[in-house]
Amino acid sequence: MIGLNRTHDPQRRSWVESANVAGADFPMQNLPFGIFRGADGVARGGVAIGDQIVDLVRLRAAGLLKGKAAEAARAAAGPVLNPLLQLGNAHASSLRAALSDLLDAAHEDRSHRAELGTCLVPIRLATLQLPVHIGAFTDFLCSIDHTLRLRRGVLPPAFKHLPIAYNGRATSVVVSGTAVTRPQGQFRQGEAVTFGAEPSLDFELEVGAFVGTGNELGRPFTLADADGHTFGHCLVNDWSARGIQFFESEPLGPFLGKSFATSISPWIVTAEALLPFRVAALVRDVGDPQPAHLTSEVNSELGALDLALEAFVLTPRMRASGLEPAPVTQTSFRSMYWTFAQMLTHHASNGCNLQPGDLLASGTTSGASAASRACLAELSQLGTLPLELTNGEMRTWLEDGDEVILRAHAEHPDYVPIGFGECRGVVRSGA
Ligand code: CA
């Protein structure tokens, strides 16, 4: 079991100065994993520190790592991080500890700095890739407020008994920065059903979890073991074609309305980095179900993540005028009815085999307040009330050229805040 340790020490500062800037997404205490291509074009594993990437292939070649940390770096040397995830969280934790020591400005021995300096690649000069091969993508429905707003005030019967989900499409998960093509499909227009470009294109602000070690087919795991199967987290934009979705979803759920694209942020913020930001799960109403296999004291007291989440829209007109993106959503991940430990445990509870690199998404992260509505379907009250952006432009749904930008950060008064980086995607015409 990994607990708080010296890598979370808020006093630690790095000799990589950009990591010490107040509000930096990637300070010493974060050290998220990703896959990047540098000048040589070869995709390999890296760890973000400030505005730099530590190239794990070069770092291992430099002989600065030992034991499990070296094994973890070797597992992160290829074009996907699945081998690292498969090793288990203890290996990634050893690498995190070694990197934290090597990057520590207070480290007495400075002899490694020149060598480690040659392993640094500026993030702006690298191309970030999908961090893992995603074999399966599952999208959950964990926000009561989102569910009520989209279902006209009625919770589905199972909502409080289990984290409702559907099997999403893994092949169309794309990394931040990839343009998203407006899908074609069938939807209602008045009384008629037509085929054409989706008129009601939406985003959904979600948080993702990557499965680390998996479980064998037919062998579920307990809620207490769920953390051991969770490697880390990312931002997810579950793009949604509402016209297609709302017409096709009875009775089997979403299909083409979701499967055209899902965007994720490129860095995996490890579950270990997020330990200081664990908080109590949402308190359930008296009389709500407490399914035994999805209930524990630890989960109730520390199962949730305190993440501040934001969504922005950058329109072509804003871009042309040099304006900042318009904020449209500010929400908290604390308002989810289910925790990721419950989602993983439920997912495997029938014996389904989760695999390293599988992606589980939380569902739209809306809260009760108007500002926390985390998709346009909620913000525009199912398309009936256009939203005014900061520059006066109106949006009911996304238009071609609009870019959606998601951000997340975690704060605690006793720890250094950490961020997720961004998840971005521009809508392009499908015509
Ligand atoms: Ca969703």
- Tell me the DSSP string of 4-51: --GGG-TT--BSSGGGGSTT-SS-TTT--EEEEE-TT--EEEEEEETT
Q: Which are the catalytic amino acids? A: 146
* Coil, strand or helix at 384: coil
Instruction: Render pLDDT for 33-78 as a digit per residue (tens, 0 to 9).
Output: 999 999 999 999 999 999 999 999 999 999 999 999 999 999 999 9
- What is the 8-class DSSP label of residue 358? -
Instruction: Render pLDDT for 361-378 as a digit per residue (tens, 0 to 9).
Output: 999 999 999 999 999 999
| Residue 378 region by backbone torsions, left for phi larger than 0, else alpha for psi between -120 and 50, else beta | alpha
- What is the 8-class DSSP label of residue 76? T
Distance 364 CA to ligand 1 centre (A): 5
State the pLDDT at residue 286.
95
Distance 135 CA to ligand 1 centre (A): 18
Distance 218 CA to ligand 1 centre (A): 27
Distance 221 CA to ligand 1 centre (A): 25
State the pLDDT at residue 430.
85
Distance 238 CA to ligand 1 centre (A): 5
Distance 83 CA to ligand 1 centre (A): 28
pTM above 0.85, yes or no: yes
DSSP H helical ranges for 273-415: 297-302, 316-321, 340-348, 376-379
Distance 44 CA to ligand 1 centre (A): 30
The residue behind tokens 């993440």 is 307
- Cα separation of 93 and 10, whole Å? 18
Distance 180 CA to ligand 1 centre (A): 16
Is residue 177 within 8 A of residue 261, CB to CB? The reply is no
State the pLDDT at residue 112.
87
Distance 240 CA to ligand 1 centre (A): 8
Is residue 325 within 8 A of residue 373, CB to CB? The reply is no
Instruction: Give residues whose Cβ lies within 5 Å of ion ligand 1.
Output: 139, 204, 238
Instruction: Render pLDDT for 185-238 as a digit per residue (tens, 0 to 9).
Output: 999 999 999 999 999 999 999 999 999 999 999 999 999 999 999 999 999 999
**Per-residue confidence in pLDDT tens, the chain, 431 aa:** 789 999 999 999 999 999 999 999 999 999 999 999 999 999 999 999 999 999 999 999 999 999 999 999 999 999 999 999 999 999 999 999 999 999 999 987 788 898 999 999 999 999 999 999 999 999 999 999 999 999 999 999 999 999 999 999 999 999 999 999 999 999 999 999 999 999 999 999 999 999 999 999 999 999 999 999 999 999 999 999 999 999 999 999 999 999 999 999 999 999 999 999 999 999 999 999 999 999 999 999 999 999 999 999 999 999 999 999 999 999 999 999 999 999 999 999 999 999 999 999 999 999 999 999 999 999 999 999 999 999 999 999 999 999 999 999 999 999 999 999 999 999 999 87
Q: Which two tokens stand for residue 65?
A: 């790592």
Distance 145 CA to ligand 1 centre (A): 13
State the pLDDT at residue 110.
82
State the pLDDT at residue 60.
95
**171 Cβ contact partners less than 8 Å away, ≥ 6 residues apart:** none
Q: How far is CA 297 from CA 198, 268, 381, in A?
A: 45, 27, 37
- Cα separation of 346 and 397, whole Å? 33
Is residue 343 within 8 A of residue 140, CB to CB? The reply is yes
State the pLDDT at residue 379.
98
Residues in the chain: 431
- Cα separation of 344 and 346, whole Å? 5
Distance 2 CA to ligand 1 centre (A): 30
